Amino acid sequence: MQALLLALALSALQLCPAVLGGPQHQRFLLGNGGPIRLSRVHNFAWQNCAPSAPAQMKSLNLIPDPICIPGDVTLSASGTTTITLDAPVKAVITLEKKIGDMWLKVPCVDDLGSCTYDDLCAILDTLVPPGQPCPQPLQSYGIPCHCPFKAGTYNLPPSDIFIPNMDLPSFLTNGDYRLKSVLSNGDQEIGCLKLSFSLHSGSQWLWW
């Protein structure tokens, strides 16, 4: 995985529920039908979608399958970048839902869905204020959580992370989902990653 995405994802996981479900973020969880409690994740899959980009995910594993929420997950990952990743790093996220045989784009609502983030480095600074130590397990393995990310290889050995209760916004109704993230700096595409996984909420199934 791109080093920046790895740090961003791990920082967010470690700061739950403040990031994903804390009181200051309730606006992310509101929808016409109210929030949906997530209970299970399974069938996680990923792939690079820009083989010539300077940042590449080499491995990304989540155990067990399915993941029960709340519960523990063992995460391992490795990625490499041939260039230094520095601000501003732009992320264009495309989230699609499968309706019949078609994939329909989920709009961006309150920073969730198919959204554009102009500077992931600034988001990392919000999650972990500069001067504070990086959250575990990043700190133990020398993985930075702030820009710049120097060129090189970043490895996260199998690490246990606790996933707390979290809610999904009601507009992410049950179905099959896929997500594409494209990172860029100016006119240069840094990396591209596709994700898919199944989410279970109550008696309903959801793909992301």
pLDDT per residue as tens digits for the range 154-192: 998 998 888 888 777 766 667 778 889 999 999 999 999
Helices (H) and strands (E) in the chain, counts: 2, 13
Classify the C-alpha dihedral 203-43-160-55 as positive or negative.
negative
Q: Are 128 and 119 in contact (CB under 8 A)?
A: no
pLDDT at 35: 64
Distance CA(194)–CA(94), nearest Å, equals 9
Distance CA(90)–CA(87), nearest Å, equals 8
CA distance readout (Å), 152 to 15, 179, 183, 193: 26, 26, 17, 18
Distance CA(201)–CA(164), nearest Å, equals 14
pLDDT at 118: 93
Q: Helix crossing, 120-127 with 3-14: angle to 10°?
A: 30
**Class of the 3-207 domain?**
mainly beta
- Show me where the domains of the chain are located: 3-207
Question: Residue 70, preceding bond cis, omega within 30 degrees?
Answer: yes
- Select from 105, 151, 104, 154 the least CA-distant residue to 134: 154
pLDDT per residue as tens digits for the range 99-108: 889 999 988 8
Q: Are 46 and 57 in contact (CB under 8 A)?
A: yes
For 53-116, give the DSSP string.
SSEEEEEEEEESSSEESSEEEEEEEEEEESS-B-S--EEEEEEEEEETTEEEEPPPBTTBSS-E
Low-confidence ranges of the chain (pLDDT < 70): 1-36, 170-173, 202-208
pLDDT at 190: 93
Q: What pTM value is reported for the model?
A: 0.78
User: What SS3 state is found at 149?
Assistant: strand
